[in-house]
Structure 1
Amino acid sequence: MLPLRGKIINSEKARYDKVLSHNEIRLLISAMGTGIGTEEFDLAKLRYHKIILMTDADVDGAHIRTLLLTFFFRHMNQVIEAGHLFIAQPPLFKVKKGKVEKYLMSEREFEDFFLAAWVETAKVKVPGTKAPLTGEPLLELLRAVSEYRGLFGKLVKRGVPAPILAELLRGKFRGTKRGVGHAEIGEAITAAAAAVNGYSIRVTPGDNGDGHTVTIAGPPAVTFSTDVFKSADYATLVELWEKVGATAKGPTTIIEEGDRETPVKSLDALWALALERSRQGASFQRYKGLGEMNPEQLWETTMNPETRTLLKVTQEDAVGADQMFTVLMGDAVEPRREFIEKYALDVANLDI
């Protein structure tokens, strides 16, 4: 174990001599035994087969991990190429229900842990089905609802008003269908807006076959491109609608033990109630820092070679990795700002 005190120097910005004079970097080089630099580095002298980066699960931990990855990529790339660099994957949750106690690695595992037990006794009556769904079919429906809600919210963040998006899905509009261009997408959006009322829309053609710009009067005014409806996200959303559409249209009813019936009016309501009921009688803890675990938990979940989960650091695209480190960790501010502006709406987990 080599404890690093605080954030190490950003080796993408700092001069080489400053990197080498940084105390935590010197300790790391000494512990590994390889030396550093084109003349001194010798992979054969590496003292450990696995170099494992272990940081907290919050934003500070992510920053420290990124700084370490930058150092290895720029100054000890052979360690990555040889497959010796790993990232520890501590659990995100500890859950307990009845006599069952378990560590879970992700939000998806967390949801599945509770829902998988709940669907064994619960049922959901969906229009168009001969019998209420229960067991694995119900679990698959709930997973589809979860994925649908995530993608729907993502496209709404991109500027598409929720009522218009819902109307397009109800009409099973496919922007990726052969023969459907940006003009047709603009027409479909205008028709959907008219169907739900209350929207003043202007569609401006793009240049040289680019996507059209759709502007919806406010307040607040929103703008988005018809490219959204040619994206893989929208295509997946349409496929998910095929699975959840009948449930969304309703009437949908949850049936629990004792034949207790609870009607739900939307997918959001179904999802919220299913999670609420499935968690009854359970306790859980969300981890953000390794220090939140006691020594036994840390060993059991993150350090024990028999039970731990590691993520191997690989380098499939050296040129792409080089560009990414330059943009995100380098001196130039403008490329980093452009990157953030381009991908800000795709962020799934934001820790502020």
Structure 2
Amino acid sequence: FVKHLDRVKKPLIQTPIAIRAERDGITVEVAMWWNDSYHENVLAFTNNIPQRDGGTHLAGFRAALTRQITGYGDASGQTKKEKVSLTGDDCREGLTAVLSVKVPDPKFSSQTKDKLVSSEVRPVVESLVNEALGTWLEEHPSEGKVVVEKVIQAAAAREAARKARDITRKSTLGVTSLPGKLADCQERDPAKSEIFIVEGDSAGGSAKGGRSRQNQAILPLRGKILNVERARFDRMLSSDMIGTLITALGTSIGKDEFNADKLRYHKIILMTDADVDGAHIRTLLLTFFFRQMPELIERGHLYIAQPPLYKVTRGKSSQYLKDESAYEEYLIDSGLEEASLTLGSGEVRTGQDLHSAIDDALAVRQLINGLHTRYNRSVVEQAAIAGALNADVLADLGRANAMAERVAKRLDLIAEDTERGWTGRLSTSNDGVGGYVFERTVRGVKEFVQLDAGLINSADARQLDRYASRLAEIYSEPPVLRRKEVSETIAGPLALLNAVFATGRKGLTMQRYKGLGEMNAEQLWETTLDPNVRSLLQVKVTDATDADSLFSRLMGDEVEPRREFIQDNALSVANLDV
């Protein structure tokens, strides 16, 4: 019957515990087990009559159950290890049981017989269940451990729920009195208020000094926030940092307690450093909001600040640049002032035509950088200009041999006089794989470079080959870049970028901000806090299933999926901070 009651639930033990015993003329029968739910389901009978309100037989059963489970947990060391104190309610979470007693002269509280009041029944039931359950736990230690683990989880959840309720009861005055932590704003309308969650006390000090006190609150967090993906709910709420965050937001936490309508700020802005530690803290905060307060993301309340990564100064003029791309764009604009590119045909490119050549060079650089590090970048660049990355050419023996020689000539064309002597050929079986082989000997040292068929048949190589005609038009003969009275011969698109960047850096002072604490209050307002000039990224979840999988993979306990993700995406990393 117990199995029937739990037919749609997952049991924690293989077979229900069956107890049948008699003492002092009272017969006691019990069938019980635990499932993975959170509800107790105990049916009590006296002489086959059900007692909806229980009675002395149920009280005896519960007392014996609590004594044995808590005693077993203490004896095994599980409760001490988890630092929890078990109660009867914890022991009965997920319990399904049928309790039946046969009593010669039962007494009930009313004619409906909903509650047994015979006092002599309790000690008999308590004694018999205590003995039988103790024996079962001794004979089934592995299943007993599973049951106690379930009970410990119930105790932890109970404690967490209590803490959540305590946090909920804290008043708004309690938030503003947090010393050295939350710097609240004057505005009381959540729709007009915003809170910046800032990394560290240093940045927090600058942010507090630079903010608009009218509607901007600052909450500095010191150190790394707890990874809630790996932490039980009770451990999460025991974290002072998370408790402070929950209190500041005002929503409470947990299924039954969370209330998004009580959010005190309708813009929650994560403002962390641009270095790897800042990215880690931002990821931990995103994990917290995704797992514990997803409704705030769904309502569009969560944002990520975009503080500048660079400050560039030329003369008396300063400018903030938000990322590497903006910095390169600035260098290009500076480097191309009064610049021209003279091609081998005599054509001179300036203005938008020269900018188009730079755009192509940026795209080619990204594709080449995406290739495996075993490939020589300079050789790949010259092969792309020559058109050698076309798989159709490699398939034609005659064209492929001619192409190998053409690329070798290009390599000699851009090499120093003492470092020439490149030869090119198709690879043989001795080389291991198909493709091109280029060799030279410089000062007695032989250099061997291979562009194998795997590279030439790759998606990146096919993308590079689409630029072949435009690259050949500009670089078939090395062009000359001129700016004012300075000229430089350009070997290819990568060399063009390097030359323009070098020119753009002349007379420039660059400061890279790795931490928000490096900015003073005025700079932080100008770049990150001022609503008129700042950039914010709104956090959205377009595919909840993918997001769930990604957080579990990257932030969970399993190491293997995380390692696979890192290996699969290693070549996509830019600006690695080591």
TM norm. shorter chain > 0.5: yes
Residues in 2 aligned to 1:298 and 1:228: alpha-carbon distance in whole angstroms: 48
Secondary structure class of the residue paired with 2:286: helix
Identify the residue that residue 152 of structure 2 maps to in structure 1. Answer: none
Contact 1:251 1:264 in 2 (8 A): yes
1:251 is aligned, of 478, 481, 485, to 478
Residues in 2 aligned to 1:255 and 1:235: alpha-carbon distance in whole angstroms: 32
Residues in 2 aligned to 1:114 and 1:303: alpha-carbon distance in whole angstroms: 26
Deviations 1:44-99 (A, max 9, x none): 11111100000000000000000000111111011111110000000111112244
Alpha carbons of structure 1 residues 147 and 55: separation in structure 2 relative to 1, 3 Å: same
Contact 1:19 1:25 in 2 (8 A): yes
Query: Which segment drifts farther, 245-254 or 63-72?
Result: 245-254
1:339 Cα deviation after fit = 1.2
Contact 2:225 2:281 in 1 (8 A): yes
Identify the residue that residue 346 of structure 1 maps to in structure 2. Answer: 572
Query: Which segment drifts farther, 36-45 or 267-276?
Result: 267-276
Residues in 2 aligned to 1:109 and 1:91: alpha-carbon distance in whole angstroms: 10
Deviations 1:213-254 (A, max 9, x none): 9999x99999988387342x4343233444333333332111
Deviations 1:12-56 (A, max 9, x none): 111111011111110111011111111111111111110000000
Residues in 2 aligned to 1:306 and 1:315: alpha-carbon distance in whole angstroms: 26
Residues in 2 aligned to 1:190 and 1:50: alpha-carbon distance in whole angstroms: 63
Identify the residue that residue 316 of structure 1 maps to in structure 2. Answer: 542
1:336 Cα deviation after fit = 0.9
Residues in 2 aligned to 1:284 and 1:186: alpha-carbon distance in whole angstroms: 51
Residues in 1 aligned to 2:400 and 2:264: alpha-carbon distance in whole angstroms: 61
Residues in 1 aligned to 2:397 and 2:276: alpha-carbon distance in whole angstroms: 40
Identify the residue that residue 495 of structure 2 maps to in structure 1. Answer: 269
Identify the residue that residue 335 of structure 1 maps to in structure 2. Answer: 561
Contact 2:312 2:510 in 1 (8 A): yes
Alpha carbons of structure 1 residues 313 and 133: separation in structure 2 relative to 1, 3 Å: same
2:454 is aligned, of 207, 226, 230, to 226
1:265 Cα deviation after fit = 3.0
1:128 Cα deviation after fit = 4.1
Alpha carbons of structure 1 residues 301 and 22: separation in structure 2 relative to 1, 3 Å: same
1:271 Cα deviation after fit = 2.1
Q: Residues 1-352 of structure 1 correspond to what in structure 2 (within 5 A)?
A: 1-128=218-345, 130=347, 132-157=348-373, 159-162=374-377, 163=379, 166-167=382-383, 170-171=386-387, 173-174=389-390, 197=424, 201-203=431-433, 226=454, 229-231=457-459, 233-258=460-485, 260-352=486-578
TM-score for the superposition, normalised by structure 2: 0.52
Residues in 2 aligned to 1:190 and 1:288: alpha-carbon distance in whole angstroms: 50
1:145 Cα deviation after fit = 1.3
Structure 1 stretches lacking a partner, 5+ long: 205-212
TM-score for the superposition, normalised by structure 1: 0.83
Secondary structure class of the residue paired with 2:304: strand
Residues in 2 aligned to 1:335 and 1:215: alpha-carbon distance in whole angstroms: 37
Contact 1:55 1:290 in 2 (8 A): yes
Letter in structure 1 aligned against 2:474: T
Secondary structure class of the residue paired with 1:325: helix
Residues in 2 aligned to 1:325 and 1:228: alpha-carbon distance in whole angstroms: 36
Contact 1:214 1:223 in 2 (8 A): yes
Residues in 2 aligned to 1:95 and 1:123: alpha-carbon distance in whole angstroms: 25
Alpha carbons of structure 1 residues 114 and 161: separation in structure 2 relative to 1, 3 Å: closer
Deviations 1:95-128 (A, max 9, x none): 1224432111122221222322332311111234
Letter in structure 2 aligned against 1:6: G
Alpha carbons of structure 1 residues 214 and 33: separation in structure 2 relative to 1, 3 Å: farther
Residues in 2 aligned to 1:40 and 1:284: alpha-carbon distance in whole angstroms: 49
Contact 2:389 2:456 in 1 (8 A): no
Secondary structure class of the residue paired with 1:262: strand
1:318 Cα deviation after fit = 0.6
Kindly indicate whether structure 1 or structure 2 has the higher relative contact order, using CA contacts under 8 Å at least 6 residues apart.
1
Query: Which segment drifts farther, 145-154 or 184-193?
Result: 184-193
Structure 2 stretches lacking a partner, 5+ long: 1-217, 409-423, 439-445
Fraction of identical pairs, as percent: 42
Contact 1:168 1:188 in 2 (8 A): no
Alpha carbons of structure 1 residues 161 and 201: separation in structure 2 relative to 1, 3 Å: farther
RMSD: 3.3
Contact 1:247 1:267 in 2 (8 A): no
Residues in 2 aligned to 1:22 and 1:172: alpha-carbon distance in whole angstroms: 60
Residues in 1 aligned to 2:447 and 2:227: alpha-carbon distance in whole angstroms: 43
Residues in 2 aligned to 1:220 and 1:342: alpha-carbon distance in whole angstroms: 28
1:139 Cα deviation after fit = 2.2
Letter in structure 2 aligned against 1:63: H
Residues in 2 aligned to 1:190 and 1:202: alpha-carbon distance in whole angstroms: 18
User: Which one has a bigger Cα radius of gyration?
Assistant: 2
Contact 1:93 1:287 in 2 (8 A): yes
